[in-house]
Structure 1
Amino acid sequence: MTTHRIAVAGVGNAAGTHMRAYEQLDDAAVVACAGREESRVRSFADEHGCDPFLDVPGMLDAVEPDVLDICTPSGAHLDPALAAADRGVDVFCEKPLEITTERIDRMIDAADEAGIRLGGVFQRRYKPVVRTVREAVAEGRFGPLAVASAALPWWRDDGYYDGTWQAEPDVAGGGAVMNQAIHSVDAVQWIVGAGMDLAPDANPVAEVSAFTGVRGHDAGLDVEDTAVATLRYRDGTLGQLLATTATYPGGEIRYELGGRDGSAEVRGEELAAWQFREEREADAAVRERFSGPDAGADEPSPLELPNVREFLDARASGDPFMLDGSEARKAVAIVEGVYESAERGEPVAVE
């Protein structure tokens, strides 16, 4: 069995989650970690049995890993990715790939030139309930979709933003949309895109119209804690996006889709609605599987595990990876459209 030797850039919460995934795999070994604060790096290295470093290039040169797993703050993904590409090391990167499509394109170009893999993390694509809804879209069970919306009504207290990188636009890239709801943005565009005949790099969202604001935190906060947007998809489907960290005590993530032949609503891990003009024998089992206190019980913990597993399997087999650079870019392009529309006060086309 091939063992994938992993080096991790960043030793914060995301890195800890990734480590819980790697530690469940027989063919992955984390050999090194790098970060800026020596005490945190050494503590992380001691906990996970790997070598500590204070800079990514030095770590890559010293341990020569197969994969660099980037878990640094969002706006600090580009430089580690470029360093890995320079050394022929594959890159697995936390969401978002970067905070602008321009920076992502530099990552993609460097990966292509070096002949390495660049993969992203959007673990909600691996939720069984999300995949079930997407399969129904791909099969045409809803008919022409009329609506496809996503809502993330969360709460973050003042301490979440106080003196942290999440409050710095140049590092975070934005607030509730870029940092929290980007998972929902990716999931809903992926679901709707399953019913379209698009080129692989084409974004299912054509146009965005949005408003953003700061409603539940200090008015001097430099990133939004609330955003609403209307999305027009390329096939004519219309949708809404709600993203907020300003609604105490916070609620469940929701997805809602519907067309002339059926409707579905996901609330948290449950299917709150699953009705079609043409009922199938399996529909009752689907409703039972995703209802009640055991809904989602078949999902792995941490949810990043299948995302990591698929990336490593693609490395070993040479097969395509679902969340390659161009695919992971799509959600950021939509988020950019949200911010540009809110700033300009008019609808914005998504490239």
Structure 2
Amino acid sequence: MQSPPEAPIPPPPGAPAGGDGNGPPPYTGAAQYGPYPSFPQQQQASYPSYPAHGQPVAPYPYYGAPIPNESKAVTSLVFGVLSISCMGILAGIPAVVLGLLARRDIARSGGALGGKGMANAGIVLGAFTSVLTVGTILFMVVVPLVMGGMSVYSSPSISSATPPPAYSAPPYGSPAPSAGSENESSTTVTRGALRVIEPHRGSGSLERQLMDAFSQAKEKGRVVLVETAARASSASHEFDSSLSDRRMQRALSTVDIVRVDVDEFESELSSMRMYTEAVPYFYKIDAAARPTDAISADEWDANIPQNMAPVLESFVAGTLRKRRSPSPLGTTL
């Protein structure tokens, strides 16, 4: 197969026609080439720049459906509202827990989940209600304990049985309602669970009445504590009023108290070596009504149950060793 004949190459501009005059004439069948036309330059397209490796990439704006809320955030807000309206700490604690979990999952989602504000609201409402509920419970428990006497004296030698019901004792010297008479020698009244025996001058000698009280107490496994008192003495009234207190009831639970009026039995008390110049004094006696030990109200400060109960209990039990004042027994009264 033959190739087509090559076209003659035109001579360069300025060359004489025919070269040396012997060649063929120059080719004139086509127009001479002129300069190339200029075309408008297209503007180069610009492309977005990308951050360097490791740099955070800002999320592209999202123009579709709204970001869904994290389900636990919604539940936390619901529990928070319930806690502050009616359920208290029962809904407050779940509100706090679910709110914290929702915040964690929202942070991990990288913007795919919303509801952080609802989670924060649930946490705040739940925490506030829980703290308020706990504070209210503590207030209702602690305040009655403090006001009711947390310092109730308790001794291992006293039974831990249920304390007797509260009793409001009438002032010393006032007629006792439903006061019974166990014998002709004395009148017995009650102060809560305690027996208070009051001798009378018209019922025989004081010595005889004390011996009868000792005998009756011994039959019941109890002991006698003789108290000297005076109607005009505020200390005597304070001691009598304190007998209804639970601490005094416990401390004297095995005691029969014999209250002797110093104005009525002054001479007999002196002959029995019981002090009458100051009241109250407290004596332990034997079967013959002789005093075996004694203390006065100087062994404590104010005449209040928490001061008197432990001292009297130790005195009755015979374990009161350290004393502020010496016993008057053995001295000239």
Shorter-chain TM-score: which interval?
under 0.3
Considering Cα pairs closer than 8 Å and 6+ residues apart, tell me whether 1 or 2 has the greater RCO: 1
TM-score w.r.t. structure 2 length? 0.19
Q: Larger Rg: 1 or 2?
A: 2
> Higher strand proportion, which one?
1
